Amino acid sequence: MKKFIAGLFLSTSLLIAATGCSGEASQNENILIMGTNAAFPPFEYIQGTEVVGFDVDLAKLIADQLDMELQIMDMEFNTLTGAVSNGIIDIAVAGMTNTPERRESVNFSDGYFSSKQMIIVKNDSSIESTEDLAGQSIGVQLGTTGDQFISSFAKDGTLQNAEIIRFDKGALAIADLLNDTVDAVIIDEEPAKNFVAAQDNLQILEAPFIEEEYAIAIAKDNTELTDQINSALASIKASGQYDEIFNKYFESAE
């Protein structure tokens, strides 16, 4: 995609209108356009006017390896895979879990981070486990794996009478938890820790959901870029650069 066009795009809808479905993102070989949803600290969040975070640092290292310039577009999480398929962005790097459903529409790189879902409740909440979520209202981010898991529990009857409230951003779900509009929030582990650390009346409960693997989404037909990204990831891991950015954003295991 040409630089000046990319700079002009303000919203996803404008982008879709302007570019159609012609795979424009890959046209300029020197620019790698990363789509993300910058409300997911510490993977991506806004600092001042900039999108920063672990995923941004990782994508910059990848772009360096490919000798490309990284450009970032912040968009709604549930529009990212479509934007990859339509060529509006080259890659989605958004703490995105590699799932079978998403693999139907995009390619995924090798995994770069393991995660799982957590339940956040207030300190004085009566909710102590997943079973206690029955009959409660539960906030999730629209289209995330947290949304999928809890929605399937509600559908198959594991969770009776739960009301699932879907937010565009995890932070909005947390805001509604703080003002008692929802009783619990389901969100990925590291963002959960981040949100809870910023408040003094929230706590995390372990959710018994399966382990997830974050990966970079790439257009399904673009095996060349998928291979390039996997090689870049491997060399970033081998060179110690991955550990450097890991240590910048996360407490080490020991």
Whether the Cβ atoms of residue 93 and residue 166 lie closer than 8 Å to each other: no
Closest to ligand ARG by CB, 28 vs 98, is 98
Bridging pattern class, strands 117-122 and 184-188: antiparallel
63 contacts ligand ARG (rule: CB under 6 A) = no
Q: How far is the CB of 145 from ligand ARG (least distance, A)?
A: 4
44 contacts ligand ARG (rule: CB under 6 A) = yes
186 contacts ligand ARG (rule: CB under 6 A) = no
Q: How far is the CB of 109 from ligand ARG (least distance, A)?
A: 14
Q: Residue holding tokens 């060179």?
A: 239
Between helix 241-249 and helix 223-238 the angle, nearest 10°, is 80
Closest to ligand ARG by CB, 28 vs 39, is 39
Cα–Cα distance measured from residue 184 to residue 177, given in angstroms and rounded to the nearest whole number = 6
Q: How far is the CB of 91 from ligand ARG (least distance, A)?
A: 13
The sign one gets for the Cα dihedral 33, 12, 75, 141 is negative
Quick note: the x/- pattern for ligand ARG over 120-149, rule CB under 6 A, is: ---------------------x--xx----
Closest to ligand ARG by CB, 99 vs 158, is 99
DSSP 104-137: TTEEEEEEEEEE-EEEEEETT-S--SGGGGTTSE
Binding-site size, ligand ARG (CB under 6 A): 15
Q: How far is the CB of 175 from ligand ARG (least distance, A)?
A: 15
Q: Which stretch binds ligand ARG (CB under 6 A): 34-42, 60-68, 122-130, 157-165?
A: 34-42
Q: Which of 97, 130, 222, 226 binds ligand ARG (CB under 6 A)?
A: 97
Q: Residue holding tokens 């450097």?
A: 244
Beta bridge partners of 108: 217
Cα–Cα distance measured from residue 34 to residue 32, given in angstroms and rounded to the nearest whole number = 6
Cα–Cα distance measured from residue 170 to residue 49, given in angstroms and rounded to the nearest whole number = 19
Q: Which of 32, 56, 94, 164 binds ligand ARG (CB under 6 A)?
A: 94
194 contacts ligand ARG (rule: CB under 6 A) = no
Residue at 91: amino acid letter = I
Q: What residues make contact with ligand ARG under the rule CB under 6 A? A: 36-37, 39-40, 44, 77, 94-97, 141, 144-145, 188, 212
